[in-house]
Structure 1
Amino acid sequence: MFIDLIAGARPNFMKIAPIIDAIKEEQDAGVNLNFRLVHTGQHYDKNMSGSFFEQLGIPDPDENLGAGGGTQAEQTASIMIGYEKLLMNKPSDLCIVVGDVTSTLACAITAQKMHIPVAHVEGGIRSNDWKMPEEINRLATDAITNYFFTTSEIANGNLNKIGIEDERVFFVGNTMIDTLLKHRERFKKPEVWDEVELEKGNFIVMTLHRPSNVDEEENLKSLMNEIILNTKDLPLIFPVHPRTAKMLKNIGISHERLHMIEPLGYLEFNYLVERSKAVITDSGGITEETTVMGIPCLTLRNSTERPETISIGTNELLGMDPEAIKPALETLFNGDWKKGGIPKLWDGKASNRIVGHLKDIFKI
């Protein structure tokens, strides 16, 4: 059997790496299971892409579609054109897409139009917020997916509601957590640790990149000011997404406790997260990692596609109103933040379950 594994943006790499490991284990055992790693080029900055391949032990891509930047429509079109040419030259037996980025949707559509079945890792997750481009990607991808590998029973329920048959849904756990647990002992101290003289539990990590938070100058300025004002004397470590860096420069935000740094590699970033007092973010994936590491997470979004990080984990959804930041931080500093637990099957074995199901489905 010959499988395409699609990766294009930073979150994909963390989810695809353990699947590659699981496939290689089967290959070593003599199973006829081969793959082609396709990098769409959606994230082309080294800090957003290249370093992840090196740190997570992902082999060099077999194909790079070189989609690059542009609008979402331009990226989608570029990826589809490149992937179609690849499939016309050498078709695969299955296209595995992960997550909810542009590459996920573009390659799923292309594969189906070439009569190649699609498996969606992280199928069924929903924010129910159609203003998020990722939600459109999820809905459209799941509408044309053949096999769903899910992270939670909530996702299973979402698929059931839209009429997906149980025999096409496989609850396997979270491949991102596979990666986290595998590499946890390898987390690497970044330069900023010594430069700022950080101490465990005595600083806050920040990430902001969603258009709803960073594209409007006054809103971003209000968020940043509230965070700075209500984090006492703690250093704020802010690896800045390229999208956000441009806006921060325009509004001139600075403070002696605010340390804006370049995006970090996977091992360096999670070294900080694991040792932080809390994380303030608008990312979805980080809420999963903080849940497993037991770190309080304050999410600046109105909705989340990962509700189990709230109902079970350490995450709280604050919304996007800057005034919600102060009371949340007061709860944190008063020592009243919830302890949280770890969702079912987030145990580091999701990828092995996926490959096991593939062997059953395709009679390998």
Structure 2
Amino acid sequence: MSYINMLNNTLTTLPKVMIITTSRAEFGVMYWLINSLQALPSIDCELLVTGNHLVPEQGYTIDEIKSEGVSVTESVEIMISGYGAPAKAKSSALGMMSFSDVFARRSPDLVMVMGDRYELLGIVSAAALMSIPVAHFSGGEITEGVVDDTVRHAITKMAQLHFVSNDEHRGRVIQLGEQPETVFNVGELGLENIRKYDTLTLSDLGESLNFHFRKPFILFTFHPVSIDQGLKGVEQLQVVLSALSKLTSTYEILMTYPNNDEGGEEFVSLIKSFHESHQTNVFVIASLGFKRYLSALKHCAFVMGNSSSGLIEAPSLSKPTVNIGNRQTGRTRGTNVIDVDVDEAAILEAVNKAGSIDFQKSLKSASNPYGDGFTVDRVIDVIGKISWPINCRKKFYNIGTK
């Protein structure tokens, strides 16, 4: 069943598209899409801000959204204090309750969400139970080291439209039973930033951080891992920080806080202690914001840690990534990625490779498996062909299994 040109338009008002953002990273990725949809005269585009955007410990990044001149329709607090699994489950439940009221009051014709954050599980569940169509970005991806996989695939099954970043991911969404004509390979949204955004110079970046770079620097982010049979999360970070301590004579290190997955609070404590011992060569910040992060990505020697940015955005800037541990296991990667176990000697060896002139030269002509940075135009094209209202009824697509 196709949702494109499926019905005659029967709405008497402009179709209302509600974009929901829950985190700094996600908003940065969706920035140009939000701008474009809010400027589109054929729809009424609303932006709902929730999740970590409203948490002071995560930088209260709703202020960043407003500073970019983006129109915020409403903010919805759903986060329960804490980093553990119970807090995540309760936050998701509160999201379901709160957005049930939001959806009833605002009556969106389409809800747009991106990715796999656990907060979205309750929000999208509310939409599904209220027969509100959902468009999902970045389905079909795999991250075996975290529970995000489960959330991502669950959202896929509750969505009517799917915008994926490559043909491999499109195939996985179809494998989950989604109709092929509802799954669109548009490329990764975050690459639009690299193509369009005016980044800061290295000098301006340092001035904005009150940290003046004197040596090549490593852009470092290390998130907790929720599914791992090896070292516990804190033990993993201790190994990684030990390796970093051996690098401060050669590199400066720009570190951002982890997300608020289980173990995040302990991670922050360890990072603060590491910073206190290495203040001359290490700068720590809760959130760079997407403009400064993209600027840091452009100017860094290489990316290090276990953030998806090293796999998705870094290839477009020909930046090496030292990807540590199994958080990103299963995710598509380009030739810029050096995968390494949580082992100090192995990490240092990978760093030597990432910093080598020969390896960095080899990336100059490498392609990015996540697209070319023209994603928004493709999404707008699909949105323009929708016949409203969208039918929520879904038919399972059988690929021939017995």
Q: Which category describes the TM-score, using the shorter chain as reference length?
A: 0.7 to 0.9
- Select 2:242's aligned residue among 222, 225, 234: 225
1:47 aligns with 2:59: yes
Higher helix share: 1
Match for residue 159 of structure 1 among 173, 176, 179: 173
Cα distance in 2 for partners of 1:82, 1:195 equals 41
State the Cα deviation string for residues 274-333 of structure 1 (Å, max 9, x = none): 11111112111343221111111111131527744x2x3522222333342022112123
Q: Deviations over 1:137-166 (max 9, x none)?
A: 111111211110011112112123223221
Q: Does 1:297 align with 2:331?
A: no
Number of corresponding residues: 353
TM-score of the superposed pair, with normalisation by structure 1: 0.86
Cα pair distance change 1:262/1:345, threshold 3 Å: closer
Please state how far the C-alpha of 1:210 moved relative to its aligned partner: 2.0
- CA change 1:54–1:297 in 2 (3 A) is farther
Could you say which residue in structure 2 is the equivalent of 1:357? 382
- Map 1:206-285 onto structure 2 (within 5 A): 206-211=220-225, 216-230=233-247, 232-241=249-258, 243=265, 244-249=267-272, 254-255=277-278, 258-263=281-286, 264-285=288-309
The C-alpha deviation readout for 1:240-286, integer Å capped at 9, x for no partner, is 34733223356887236541322322222222221111111211134
CA distance in 1, matches of 2:336, 2:69: 29
1:64 maps to amino acid: S
Q: Percent identity among equivalent residues?
A: 19
C-alpha separation in 2, matches of 1:209 and 1:303: 8
Contact 2:16 2:109 in 1 (8 A): yes
Contact 1:175 1:351 in 2 (8 A): yes
CA contact (8 A) 1:303 1:319 kept: no
Paired with 1:256 and 1:57, the residues of 2 have a C-alpha distance of 34
Q: Within 5 Å, which residues of 2 pair with 1:301-340?
A: 301-304=325-328, 307-308=331-332, 310=333, 312-337=334-359, 338-339=362-363
1:185/1:292 CA distance change after superposition, 3 Å = same
Cα RMSD (Å): 2.8
Question: Which deviates the most, 41-50 or 72-81?
Answer: 41-50
Matched letter for residue 233 of structure 1:
T
Change (3 A) 1:348 1:142: same
Query: 2: CA distance between counterparts of 1:216 and 1:20?
Result: 35
Query: What residue ranges of structure 1 are gaps of 5+ in the alignment?
Result: none
CA contact (8 A) 1:221 1:253 kept: no
1:134 and 1:258, CA in 2 relative to 1: closer, same or farther beyond 3 A? farther
Unaligned runs of 5+ in 2: 1-14, 82-86, 259-263, 390-402
**d(CA) in 2 for partners of 1:56, 1:74:** 31
Q: How does 1:166-185 map to 2 (within 5 A)?
A: 166-185=180-199
Residue 205 of structure 1 contacts residue 236 of structure 1 at CA under 8 Å; is this kept in 2? yes
Aligned to 2:155: 141
TM-score by length of 2: 0.79
Query: In 2 relative to 1, CA 55–271 (structure 1 residues): closer, same or farther, beyond 3 Å?
Result: farther
Match of 1:115 in 2: 131
Q: Which range moved further: 182-191 or 165-174? A: 182-191
SS of the counterpart of 1:148? strand
CA distance in 2, matches of 1:342, 1:62: 38
- 1:93, distance to aligned residue in structure 2 (A): 0.8
- Structure 2: distance between partners of 1:174 and 1:346: 6
Give distance in 1, aligned partners of 2:302 and 2:240. Answer: 16
The reply on whether 1:67 has 2:66 as its aligned counterpart is no
SS at match of 2:184: strand
2:59 is paired with a residue whose SS is helix
Checking the alignment, whether the CA contact within 8 Å between 1:55 and 1:267 is kept in structure 2 is no
Q: Flag the 1:196–1:306 CA change in 2: closer, same or farther, 3 A.
A: farther
Structure number with higher relative contact order (C-alpha < 8 Å, ≥ 6 residues apart): 2
Residues in 2 aligned to 1:267 and 1:361: alpha-carbon distance in whole angstroms: 32
TM-superposed deviation, 1:194: 6.4
Offset, 1:25: 4.0
